[in-house]
Amino acid sequence: MDVVLGIIGGSGLYDLPGLEGTWETIESPWGEPSDSVLRGTLAGTPIVFMPRHGRGHRLGPTQINYRANIDVLKRAGVTDLVSLSACGSLREDLPPGTFVIVDQFIDRTFAREKSFFGTGCVAHVSMAHPVSRDLGDRIEAAAEVSGVKSRRGGTYLAMEGPQFSSLAESHLYRAWGADVIGMTNMPEAKLAREAEISYATVAMVTDFDSWHPDHGEVDIQQIIATMNANGDAARALVQALAVATPPTREVCSAGSDTALEFAIITSPDARDPALVAKLDAVAGRVLHRTAP
């Protein structure tokens, strides 16, 4: 399978200069996605870019239709998906401007649809290792080439938002061993796994969360300033990543490319035809093969 690199741009990253292509509207049975996708090429690599919050930042973290976004990216042919996300730091050694190549998540969101599956077609995918190590390797190499300050490995705690953490919450998340905190990578990572898309996160630190004694409350003006600087670094990283992306998809070490192989539990004769029809892009590889 040919590689199509998907990029989800988070806060402060609504475009990718240098990406030659056109904006394309793709309909999804899961509702309205955040925006159209920009499909084109960068350094010879097919790229599909989606602004997570919509151009102009129209959508808050809870209002994002994560299922529609991932479904649309799957329909666009995306095989490898990189999430670029602003976040807060829960560690002294991860100051603003650091890019953390995350490898684990803690999901504390509660007001979002978290699966494509449900009544009429039940499936359980593994999330033990939610990030593609191979994709992470390429991101790490791209960060080095582009001169971006990065750290490999870390746990991203996803909170509901849109408010920032209380001091007590911030201390709690630090005690849990989380490294960064954000509002958007869950259920995004779970849905990407269900869609058999390799996924990786670049968490772009904009601030120390409220735990830091020298910073106190999160300063939104400082966040915006850092976010703009991070956006420039993120664009350079994506350019280097496009250069390093192989033309054909490799077998995913995390098993994302075969996540649904044995995940669907509902027997074919008990499946809801309406739900199965909505799953045509996400799970068609397996559902069409096992249809009665």
H/E run at residue 105: strand 104-108
76 is in an annotated binding site: no
pLDDT of amino acid 91:
96
pLDDT at 249 over 80: yes
Interatomic CA distance for residues 26 and 30, integer angstroms: 12
198 is in an annotated binding site: no
86 is in an annotated binding site: yes
pLDDT of amino acid 216:
56
Q: Percent of the chain having pLDDT more than 90?
A: 83
- Contact yes or no for 182/206 (Cβ under 8 A): no
pLDDT at 205 over 50: yes
Active-site pick, 80, 207, 214, 269: 207
Interatomic CA distance for residues 88 and 94, integer angstroms: 9
Specify the number of domains making up the chain: 1
Interatomic CA distance for residues 97 and 251, integer angstroms: 32
Q: Where are the alpha helices (DSSP H) in 83-199?
A: 133-146, 167-175, 188-194
**Which letter does DSSP use for residue 268 in this model?**
G
Neighbours of 220 (CB within 10 A): 11
Neighbours of 171 (CB within 10 A): 15
Q: Is 107 a catalytic residue?
A: no
CATH code: domain of residue 170: 3.40.50.1580
- Contact yes or no for 187/106 (Cβ under 8 A): no
Q: Is 269 a catalytic residue?
A: no
29 upstream amide cis, omega within 30 of 0: no
Interatomic CA distance for residues 269 and 261, integer angstroms: 18
Active-site pick, 137, 209, 257, 269: 209
* Model pLDDT for residues 26-83, shown as the tens digit of each residue: 999 999 999 999 999 999 999 999 999 999 999 999 999 999 999 999 999 999 999 9
Closest CA to 271 of 120, 63, 166: 120
* Model pLDDT for residues 263-280, shown as the tens digit of each residue: 999 999 999 999 999 999
Which pTM does this prediction carry?
Answer: 0.95
**Which letter does DSSP use for residue 106 in this model?**
E
First to last CA, the chain: 27
206 is in an annotated binding site: no
2 is in an annotated binding site: no
Residue 185's domain comprises 5-290
In angstroms, how far is CA 61 from the centroid of its own chain?
13
**Mean per-residue pLDDT, 125-136:** 96
Rounded to the nearest 10 degrees, the angle between the axes of helix 280-290 and helix 66-75 is 70
In angstroms, how far is CA 104 from the centroid of its own chain?
12
**Mean per-residue pLDDT, 118-143:** 97
Q: Give the chain's count of helices (H) and strands (E).
A: 7, 11
pLDDT of amino acid 228:
81
